[in-house]
Amino acid sequence: MNALASGCGRAALLVLAGAILTVGGALVFEHGLGYVPCKLCLTERIPYYLTIPLAAAVPFLPARLGRLVLGLVAVVMLYGAGLGTYHAGAEWGLWQGPTDCGGGSGAAPADVGSFLDSLKTTRVTDCSTAAWRFLGVSLAGWNALIAVALAAIAGRGALVR
Give the rounded percent of residues in the chain with a pLDDT score beyond 90.
37
What integer pLDDT is reported at residue 57 of this predicted model?
93
What integer pLDDT is reported at residue 134 of this predicted model?
64
What integer pLDDT is reported at residue 67 of this predicted model?
92
Nearest to 1 by CA among 51, 76, 64, 86: 64
pLDDT higher for 110 or 63? 63
pTM over 0.95: no
What integer pLDDT is reported at residue 53 of this predicted model?
96
What integer pLDDT is reported at residue 146 of this predicted model?
93
Rounded to an integer, what distance in angstroms lies between the CA atom of residue 28 and that of residue 96?
Answer: 28
Are 78 and 109 in contact by the 8 Å Cβ rule? The answer is no
Across 83-98, b (16+ Cβ under 10 Å) vs e yields: bbbbbbbbbeeeeebb
Rounded to an integer, what distance in angstroms lies between the CA atom of residue 150 and that of residue 129?
Answer: 26
49, burial (CB in 10 Å: exposed 0-12, middle 13-18, buried 19+): exposed
Q: Is the pLDDT of residue 100 over 80?
A: no
What integer pLDDT is reported at residue 139 of this predicted model?
77
Mean pLDDT value across residues 1-15: 74
Read off the amino acid at residue 146. I
Calculate the average pLDDT of the chain.
81
Choose the weakest-confidence range: 18-32, 44-58, 63-77, 117-131: 117-131
Rounded to an integer, what distance in angstroms lies between the CA atom of residue 14 and that of residue 153?
Answer: 8
What integer pLDDT is reported at residue 132 of this predicted model?
62
**With bands split at pLDDT 50, 70 and 90, how would you rate the model's confidence at 147?**
very high
